[in-house]
Chains A and B, each alone.
Chain A
Amino acid sequence: MDVLYFAWVRERIGLPRETVETGATTVSELVAELRAREDRYAAAFADLSALRVAVDQELTDFDAPLAGAREVAFFPPMTGG
Chain B
Amino acid sequence: MRIAVQEADFDIGAEVAAFAHGRRDMGAIVTFTGVVRDLATGDLTAMEIEHYPGMTEKAIAGIAAKAAERWSLGDVLVIHRHGRLAPGDRIMMVATAAPHRKDAFEAAEYLMDYLKSRAPFWKKELSAAGADWVVAKDEDEDALDRW
Contact A75 B121 (CB under 8 A): no
Determine whether A77 belongs to the interface, using a CB cutoff of 8 Å to chain B: yes
Q: Among A54, A78, A79, A80, find the residue whose CB has the most chain B CB atoms closer than 10 A.
A: A80
> Within the complex, what minimum Cβ distance (angstroms) separates B85 from chain A?
13
Instruction: For the complex formed, measure the closest distance between the CB of B39 and the CB atoms of chain A, giving whole angstroms.
Output: 14
A-B contact count (CB 8 A): 73
Number of chain A residues whose Cβ lies closer than 8 Å to a Cβ of chain B: 17
Cβ of B15 under 8 Å from chain A: no
Bound complex: CA A81 to CA B122 (Å): 10
CB contacts (< 8 Å) of B59 on chain A: these are 57, 59
Q: Which residues of B contact A (CB under 8 A)?
A: 34, 50, 52, 54-55, 58-59, 80, 91-92, 112, 115-124, 133-136, 140-141
Interface pairs (30), CB distance under 8 Å: A6-B122, A7-B122, A7-B124, A57-B54, A58-B55, A58-B58, A59-B118, A75-B52, A75-B120, A75-B122, A76-B122, A76-B136, A77-B135, A78-B118, A78-B120, A78-B121, A79-B116, A79-B117, A79-B122, A79-B133, A79-B134, A79-B135, A80-B80, A80-B92, A80-B116, A80-B119, A81-B91, A81-B92, A81-B116, A81-B121
